[in-house]
Amino acid sequence: MANVFIGRQPIFDRQNRVFAYELLWRGGEANQAGFADGDLATTQVMLNALTEIGLDRLVGDRLAFINLTRRFLIGDRPLPEMTERVVLEILEDIEPTAEVVAAVERLAGLGYTIALDDFLYRPALAPLVERADIVKIDLLALDTGDLREHVATLRRYPVRLLAEKVENARQHALCMELGFDYFQGYFYARPNVVEGRRMPANQMAVLQLLAAVQDPDITDGELEDLIRQDVGLSWRLLRYINSARFGLNREIDSIRQAITLLGRRILCQITSLLAMAGLGEKPPELLMTALIRAHMTARLCEARGLDPDAGYTAGLFSVLDALLDRPMTELLDDLPLSAELADALRDGRGELGGVLTTVIAYDTADWSRVADSALDPELLNQTYLQAIDSAGETAGLLN
C-alpha cells in the first residue's frame, strides 16, 4: 500500500474563522519530500482525500483546496464530483493558452470554485482572472508597493483575494488594510512578536497557571487551591473529567478527588489544555493544531518507548508562542519544564525533540524534514489520522 503524507493548512476569513483547508498531501514508498510527477501527486490527493479517508473526516464542513495540474485541467482525468466542497487551484506554472482558458470556463460552468495559485499579475493572465473566483497572492514574492498595485489591479475583477504566506502581524495588518478576504500562512501557527507590546492580562494569567501546574515542587494541596481559585476553570475541569472519555465508574465532584483518581500528571495536562482553550481571541483552529500535535506526539513517543505524557505536553505546548504572542525562548524561561521537554520545544533537541520536529513538519507539510526523519512513513500517516480523530473528540468536550 502506498504511503500517504497529509498536511492540512487552514485558510482563515477576516473574522479568524476557518474558511477552508488546503490539502497538501504527498506519497511514495521512498518517503520522498515531493513528487517529480505532479499528476501523480494530484491523483493521490484526490483518491485518498475523497475515497479512502473522506472529506468529512479531513475538513468537516469546510471547503477543500486541491492543486490541479495542466493534465487534469485539460485532459480527461476524473475530477471530484463534489463541486460545492472542492476548490480547484490552478497552478502558477500553467500558461493561459486558449485550451486552458476554455477548460477553466468549463469547470466554472460545472459549479467548481476556481482559485489561481501563487498569482503574479501580467496582462496575459487576464482571461484566467475573469473566470476565477479566488486569487491567491504570495506575499513573499512582492514588496509592499507591488502588493498594493496587484490589489488595485485585481479590484477591477469580481474576485476574492487570498493572502498566502502571511508570516507576521505586520503582513496580516497590511492585508487587512488592503481588504483581503482570506488569509493563509504561518501567522496563526508561529509567534507573532510585536515589539513593546504588553501581554494582555488574560494571557499573563494563563502563563502563570501553566507555570504553576508544571512546577514539580507544587503540592497536591497547592494545586487544588490554585485550580479552585478559578471557578470557571474548576467547573470545566470537572465536566471534562466526568465525560465518557475517561470511563470512570463514579462521578468526581471535587478537585481533590480528581487528583487522587487521575494522578497529578494527567490532571495537569487537562488543566493546561483548558487554560489554553480559554484564550478565546485566538482562532479555534490553533487549539486544534495543538491537540493534533499532542495526540500524535504522544502516540509516536509510546511507539518508540518514550514517555507519552511528555510527548503530549510537548505537542500541546508547541503552539504556545502563537497563542501568547511571545517567542518560545522567552516562554520557556517562565515555565518550569524538564530539561528534556524544554530542549524539545526550544530547538528540537533530544529524542523527544526529534519526534516533535517530525510531527510539526508533518502537520505543516514540510516534507523535506519529514523525509529526513527516521520514523516510518506509514506509521506517521496512521498516527496523524488517529490524532485528527482524537483531537476532534477532545475539542468537542471543551465546548
Ranges of each domain in the chain: 4-188, 201-398
Count the neighbouring beta carbons within 10 Å of the beta carbon of residue 275: 23
> According to CATH, what is the number of the domain 201-398?
1.10.3210.10
pLDDT digit string, tens, across residues 29-62: 333 334 444 555 555 555 545 545 667 777 778 8
Q: Record the pTM.
A: 0.64
pLDDT digit string, tens, across residues 323-353: 877 788 888 888 888 899 999 999 999 999 9
Domain spanning 4-188: CATH superfamily = EAL domain (3.20.20.450)
DSSP string covering 206-260: HHHHHHHHT-TT--HHHHHHHHHT-HHHHHHHHHHHTSTTT--SS---SHHHHHH
- d(C-alpha 371, C-alpha 20), whole Å: 27
C-alpha cell of residue 269: 495536562
Q: Which of 11-20, 221-230, 315-324 has the lowest mean pLDDT?
A: 221-230
Instruction: Report residue 286's pLDDT band, with 50, 70 and 90 as the boundaries.
Output: confident
For Cα atoms 79, 75, 53, give the angle at the middle one, nearest 5 degrees.
25
pLDDT digit string, tens, across residues 355-366: 999 999 888 878
Average pLDDT over residues 306-314: 91
pLDDT at 21: 87
pLDDT at 28: 41
Question: Regarding predicted confidence, which is higher, 84 or 40?
Answer: 84
pLDDT at 375: 87
pLDDT > 60? residue 393: yes
pLDDT digit string, tens, across residues 88-103: 888 887 888 899 899 8
C-alpha cell of residue 135: 486569487
pLDDT at 195: 29
Closest CA to 26 of 48, 55, 51, 1: 48
DSSP string covering 353-370: HHHHHHHHHHHTT-HHHH
Round the average pLDDT of the chain to a whole number and report it. 80
Average pLDDT over residues 268-278: 82
Instruction: Report residue 248's pLDDT band, with 50, 70 and 90 as the boundaries.
Output: low
